[in-house]
């Protein structure tokens, strides 16, 4: 086969170094690699046949989409109105053409009889004005209908996409290919894929209707005139030649571009450094202004005009390509109708007035044909793309999660869960996806119900990874993890995660209110303010919340930005918030710093409160295992002491597992300590046992103890 496909899923890899298949072009500082178009591509229609085949393959998804769109309130009736107006509008140019043809007839009669039918002429003129008016009215009605239609469809599909995103697990979500798929499935130019596909299909059908109706009217008008059929053919032929031109261009294969210019990369880095608010503190304190400015100027002058944005140079490149030999060669054909008319006028001077009128009509129509035919081909391209997007929109709902769900319900006895669970690692080994080194190697340990386990060890030794495997964010490559004797891979995922509460080291704050941030620890009670306040109290964040002007309603990171024009200089706050000027600085993607400015420790208290909401606040808690990854890393010593004391007091007999750098406070109370290094458990035992052993644990304990002497 060897022919390329235009869009959709493609097997294999794109290898820029394969000179036999890839064309390399230097565009300023950019290297553009494009798939070479095989000769067969230039045969008109071939790529469109491929597109047709692709569209056909994707049609089942379009059918599902239509059914979904139909389920949206009053969508069918709106769509019907939209389609009717679209069809009506596409017939108006033919009506216009017919009226103009009648004008020619009037001229012809006038030439022959030296008299004009004034009434008919008036009717034609009124008709032409009416057509113009109807065009405008149709356009207005179409826009008014498309607004609610698009809004409803868009809202429906934003729910669809939310679902698609929400159901993915960590390794699947982290997969770059999946991310690209999610992106492709989301919005196209601010409106949803579904709506733009429907609109494109309507436009395509309307353009086809318009072209055929106009062509048949043109034929009717010209067929009785001398050379009429020839002229009609010539004028349409020129337009049809557009197909040849656009066939070669509308379909571009896979391409990729990169820059290897160190100067350009450094220049872009400097630009980011100077506008990004996150670097400002170091930028100012490091006195970087002078140095970066002179480096910037030096780099810019060395790069000169080559320092262009890729999109800009790529656009120019495409424009130049468009001036292909073929498009130049066909230019004279555009003048053929005029030449034929001129010859006829010389041979039959009496027909000159009719000839001029017909010529005008033909030129006008053929110009509009060119435009419409171009639109048809543009449109099929767009439809193939958007139909492919519809497929992606539905495929993302079917993406298999990499972590497979189990079937066994857990726990068997909810009452027993409160007394804790047993946890066992049997020879567990694990590598993170895409890496070659073990994050855990042959890890084995057993924790009995109600016991407290502390994992200690150097940075990167695998402590957090143990916790991530217990909640099945990832599955081990080898070995087994057992919860109350069941391999966790056989348990229902929802049940497993319900039974565990985990506080990660890299906890995040949701871009929601503090109420939601704590409440979501236990979604079933997320609206229970009493529980939320209790969790805040136990987690040590009550005081912080009370000090915030909006209390539980405070957004630490407001997900919606305010919009404003140039504001007077004195405006420092607006809507009760500091004015964010980052957008004005030109980098749209920069995140504005709208956070309320809590310290790391204060943030951690909020995170602990969320965990408490889930595990200790509710008396009907389904949690039997508590996992904490460095819960006190940002806490001051008093806060840390309080937290551990509260945890020991509140956990009841739940099993608990901590990962920590600090020895002492917790390790002395631990039933089991795992000392980890290099992805392996090196020493196990209680604090006393490990001290007696005089190993690494004892050595580090000694170091930490000495620091306090």
Ligand X SMILES: Nc1ncnc2c1ncn2[C@@H]1O[C@H](COP(=O)(O)OP(=O)(O)OP(=O)(O)O)[C@@H](O)[C@H]1O
Q: Residues in the site for ligand X, rule: CB under 6 A?
A: 432, 435, 439, 457, 459-465, 505, 659
Please give the structure tokens belonging to residue 618: 């509710």
Please, what is the minimum distance in Å from the beta carbon of residue 576 to ligand X?
A: 38
Please, what is the minimum distance in Å from the beta carbon of residue 53 to ligand X?
A: 40
DSSP string, 442-466: EEEEEE-TT-EEEEEESTTSSHHHH
Q: How far apart are CA 631 and CA 575, in angstroms?
A: 36
Nearer to ligand X, 51 or 463 (CB): 463
Report which of 379, 47, 369 is spatially closest to residue 198, judged by C-alpha positions: 379
Please, what is the minimum distance in Å from the beta carbon of residue 431 to ligand X?
A: 8
Nearer to ligand X, 347 or 459 (CB): 459
Q: Are 6 and 50 in contact (CB under 8 A)?
A: yes
Nearer to ligand X, 174 or 405 (CB): 174
Tokens 């007091």 label which residue? Answer: 649
Please, what is the minimum distance in Å from the beta carbon of residue 425 to ligand X?
A: 14
Bond from prior residue into 411 cis (ω within 30 degrees of 0): yes
* Angle CA 52–56–57, to nearest 5: 120
Please, what is the minimum distance in Å from the beta carbon of residue 429 to ligand X?
A: 12
Nearer to ligand X, 496 or 681 (CB): 681
Q: Are 265 and 302 in contact (CB under 8 A)?
A: no
Please, what is the minimum distance in Å from the beta carbon of residue 507 to ligand X?
A: 13
Largest pairwise CA distance in the chain: 125
Nearer to ligand X, 439 or 616 (CB): 439
Please, what is the minimum distance in Å from the beta carbon of residue 682 to ligand X?
A: 12
Nearer to ligand X, 462 or 631 (CB): 462
What length is written for the chain?
A: 709
End-to-end Cα separation, the chain, in angstroms: 78
Nearer to ligand X, 213 or 659 (CB): 659
Please, what is the minimum distance in Å from the beta carbon of residue 372 to ligand X?
A: 53
Tokens 């601010």 label which residue? Answer: 190
Q: How far apart are CA 500 and CA 193, in angstroms?
A: 39
Q: Are 385 and 54 in contact (CB under 8 A)?
A: no
Nearer to ligand X, 20 or 459 (CB): 459
Q: How far apart are CA 146 and CA 202, in angstroms?
A: 12
Please give the structure tokens belonging to residue 69: 């769109």
DSSP-derived 3-state class of residue 394:
helix
Please, what is the minimum distance in Å from the beta carbon of residue 657 to ligand X?
A: 13
Nearer to ligand X, 361 or 679 (CB): 679
Q: How far apart are CA 217 and CA 232, in angstroms?
A: 11
Please, what is the minimum distance in Å from the beta carbon of residue 460 to ligand X?
A: 4
H and E: helices and strands count for the chain: 24, 15
Nearer to ligand X, 455 or 535 (CB): 455
Q: Are 676 and 457 in contact (CB under 8 A)?
A: yes
């Amino acid at each position: 086969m060897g022919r390329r496909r235009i869009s959709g899923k493609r097997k294999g890899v794109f290898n820029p170094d394969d000179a036999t298949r890839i064309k390399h072009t230097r565009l300023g500082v950019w290297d553009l690699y494009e798939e070479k178009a095989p000769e067969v591509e230039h045969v008109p229609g071939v790529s469109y046949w491929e597109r047709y085949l692709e569209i056909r393959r994707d049609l089942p998804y379009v059918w599902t989409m239509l059914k979904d769109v139909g389920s949206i309130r009053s969508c069918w009736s709106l769509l019907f109105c939209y389609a009717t107006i679209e069809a009506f509008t596409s017939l108006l140019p033919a009506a216009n053409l017919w009226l103009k043809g009648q004008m020619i007839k009037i001229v012809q009669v006038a030439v022959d009889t030296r008299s004009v039918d004034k009434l008919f002429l008036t009717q034609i003129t009124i008709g032409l004005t009416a057509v113009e008016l109807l065009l405008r009215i149709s356009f207005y009605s179409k826009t008014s209908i498309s607004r609610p239609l698009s809004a409803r469809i868009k809202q429906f599909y934003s729910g669809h996409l939310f679902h698609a995103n929400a159901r993915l697990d960590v390794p699947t979500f982290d997969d770059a290919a999946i991310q690209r798929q999610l992106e492709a499935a989301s919005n196209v130019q601010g409106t949803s894929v579904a709506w733009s596909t429907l609109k494109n299909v309507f436009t395509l059908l309307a353009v086809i209707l318009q072209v055929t109706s106009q062509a048949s009217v043109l034929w009717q008008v010209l067929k009785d005139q001398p050379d009429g059929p020839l002229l009609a053919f010539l004028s349409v032929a020129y337009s049809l030649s557009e197909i040849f031109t656009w066939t070669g261009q509308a379909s571009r294969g896979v391409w990729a571009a990169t820059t290897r210019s160190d100067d350009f990369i450094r220049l872009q880095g400097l630009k980011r450094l100077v506008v990004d608010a996150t670097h400002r503190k170091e930028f100012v304190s490091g006195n970087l202004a002078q140095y970066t400015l002179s480096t910037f100027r030096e780099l810019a002058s060395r790069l000169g005009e080559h320092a262009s944005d890729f999109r800009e140079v790529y656009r120019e490149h495409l424009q130049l390509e468009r001036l292909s030999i073929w498009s130049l060669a066909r230019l004279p054909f555009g003048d053929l109708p005029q030449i034929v008319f001129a010859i006829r006028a010389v041979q039959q001077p009496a027909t000159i007035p009719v000839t001029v009128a017909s010529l005008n009509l033909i030129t006008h129509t053929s110009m509009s044909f060119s435009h419409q035919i171009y639109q048809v081909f543009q449109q099929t391209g767009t439809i193939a793309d958007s139909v492919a997007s519809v497929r992606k929109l539905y495929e993302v709902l079917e993406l298999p999660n990499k972590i497979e769900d189990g079937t066994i319900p857990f726990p068997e006895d909810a009452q027993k869960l409160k007394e804790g669970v047993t946890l066992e690692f049997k020879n567990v080994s694990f590598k993170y996806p895409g890496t070659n080194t073990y994050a855990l190697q042959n890890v084995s340990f057993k924790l009995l119900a109600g016991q407290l386990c502390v994992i200690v060890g150097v940075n990167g030794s695998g402590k957090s990874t143990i916790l991530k495997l217990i909640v099945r964010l990832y599955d081990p490559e080898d070995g087994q993890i057992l919860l109350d004797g069941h391999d966790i891979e056989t348990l229902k995922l929802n049940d497993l995660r319900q039974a565990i509460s985990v506080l990660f080291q890299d906890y995040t704050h949701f871009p929601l209110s503090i109420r939601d941030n704590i409440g979501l620890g236990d979604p079933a009670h997320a609206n229970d303010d009493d529980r939320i306040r209790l969790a805040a109290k136990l987690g040590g964040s009550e005081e912080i919340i009370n000090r915030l002007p909006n209390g539980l309603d405070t957004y630490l990171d407001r997900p919606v930005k305010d919009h404003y024009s140039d504001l007077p200089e004195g405006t420092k706050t607006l809507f009760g918030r500091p004015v964010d000027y980052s957008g004005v600085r030109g980098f749209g993607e920069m995140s504005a710093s709208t956070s309320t400015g809590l310290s790391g420790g204060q943030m951690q208290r909020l995170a602990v409160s969320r965990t408490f909401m889930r595990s200790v606040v509710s008396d009907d808690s389904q949690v039997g295992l508590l996992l904490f990854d460095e819960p006190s890393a940002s806490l001051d010593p008093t806060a840390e002491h309080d937290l551990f004391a509260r945890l020991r007091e509140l956990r009841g007999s739940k099993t608990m597992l901590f990962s920590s750098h600090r020895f002492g406070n917790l390790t002395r109370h631990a039933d089991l300590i795992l000392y980890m290094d290099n992805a392996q458990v090196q020493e196990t035992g209680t604090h006393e046992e490990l001290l007696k052993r005089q190993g690494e644990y004892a050595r580090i304990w000694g170091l930490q103890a000495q620091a306090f002497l």
